[in-house]
Chains A and B, each alone.
Chain A
Amino acid sequence: MNALAGEFLNLDVMWRVMPMILAGLARSAVLCAVLLPIGLAGGIGAMLLSTSRVRAVRWAAIGAIDFFRAFPPLVLIVFVYAGLPFLGVELPTLASIAIAFFLNASSYFGEIYRAGIRSVPAGQAEAARSTGMTASQTFLSVTFPQAVRNVLPELISNTVELIKLTTLASIVSVPELLHSADLARSLTYNSSPLILAALIYFAILWPLVRLAGRLEHRLR
């Protein structure tokens, strides 16, 4: 039991590596602050294209969405990160990660928005148009807000997924939370830093997981 505690819950070690862990946490926060808006905004683009009235556009968009949903995110990150330099394109690591997340997260968020749009009865848009609102006014002030409200639990769940996916940046050596914790583990020969990182992830994500569950319950 003592061996277990010494290996996984060693407060001494945790205290010593705290500055590294906090620096990693700050880096993770930056990643989320950059990647989440990219995903949420890209998703709106994907939704607009995949609900286009032009059939060719719609099909191309749905094809691209399915393609990137079939592509493991880690493979996408490695592809962009390791592939482009061979072409002579030198991107900062954050930019390659942003490209990979744009392609992956837009597809998932796009599908969620689309389900939301479909859940708003057509009569809403018809009524809005008949009061003299333009198509874009109708979309922005009538259809879209209701759509977002209807899929809020899914949007939150996918936000949780996106935050979890930022750990993949550790594989391409971004010193985010998990990467720092793993580095601290190899420096201290002790797993407590990883447990500390896991506790931090849990403290941040668990409330969101619960919130999504509660909202889902209320909407049903």
Chain B
Amino acid sequence: MSAWDRFAFTFLNLEVARTYWLDIAAGISVTVFVGIVVVATGLSLGLVLAGLRSLGLRVVTWPILVFVDLFRSLPPLAIILVIYFGLPNVGIVLPSLVVLWLSLSAVLAAFAEEVFWAGITSVAPGQWLAARSTGLTFGQTFAHVILPQAAKLAVPPLTNRTITITKNVALGSAIGVSDILGQANSALAMSTNATPLTIGAIFYVILFLPLVVASRRLERRFAWGVAGS
């Protein structure tokens, strides 16, 4: 067998691909579903935390800071393992999908809070005062005056972070979630051939490459916007 033949047989085996591609494709729905739920939960929690922090109450701010620093510093896989293996021993049994969702959402929320907070503090304090003096409530000021200005600054870093976290859905395979990587891994074990990994990799690239390219564009556009304003 020539080197190319061996390579093709190992990584691009049509026979193996035909047998397993549907199984691996089934993992796409898990990856996409967990990804979307994590993004929704993480971003909204991050926004809520940033909003609470702007109240300026020490009792609220301190726990938020602890949460944010903790989840920005810990490796996501360590968080997942602690929750997945630790909680059952104290009587709380969560499905692996829920563990994955909670862990990744907490990590995304921590990063999102920091980004939103940076956006909020970049808005001149006079904006708060002016809005409040026209009779808007705190919530109205936050939602209609501060947030729209803060969001503009927050978009590029948030997109990048969101993509990074969604890629981490693959970590679920370590605790038995049947996402793309999980499915590809079991097909790899059954077929003793690397082609399932190639298929999985192709699915990941199809899912994420458009997001990466879009974030590059977004970054350029928002960079111009900030420079011009």
| Given known A-B contacts A71-B208, A72-B204, A82-B197, A201 and B78 have beta carbons under 8 A apart | yes
A88 interfacial by beta-carbon distance below 8 Å: yes
A10 to chain B, nearest CB (A): 11
Report whether A83 and B197 are in contact in the complex, using a CB–CB cutoff of 8 Å. yes
User: Which of B69-77, B125-133, B139-147 lines the interface with chain A?
Assistant: B69-77
The answer to whether residues A87 and B6 also contact, given A201-B73, A205-B73 and a CB cut-off of 8 A, is yes
B216 contacts A66, CB within 8 Å?
A: yes
Interface size on A, residues (CB 8 A): 47
Per-residue contact bits, chain B 1-17, to A (CB 8 Å; 1 contact, 0 not): 00000110011000000
- CB of B77 within 8 A of CB of A178, answer yes
B74 and A202 contact, CB distance less than 8 A: yes
Minimum CB–CB distance from B100 to chain A (whole Å) comes to 13
Q: Are A71 and B73 in contact (CB under 8 A)?
A: no
Given known A-B contacts A72-B168, A194-B82, A167 and B204 have beta carbons under 8 A apart: no
CB neighbours of B204 from chain A (8 A)? 70-72, 75
B213 close to A66 (CB less than 8 A): yes
Residues on the B chain within 8 Å of A78, using CB: 181, 185, 197
Expressed in whole angstroms, the Cα–Cα distance for A142 and B192 within the complex equals 53
Q: A3-B91, A164-B74 are in contact. List 15 more A-B contacts (CB 8 A).
A: A69-B212, A71-B201, A72-B167, A72-B170, A75-B201, A83-B11, A164-B75, A170-B77, A178-B81, A185-B81, A194-B82, A195-B82, A201-B73, A210-B69, A213-B114
Ordered nearest first, which 10 A-B pairs have the shortest CB separation? A191-B86, A70-B208, A164-B75, A72-B167, A83-B194, A167-B75, A205-B73, A70-B209, A72-B170, A86-B10
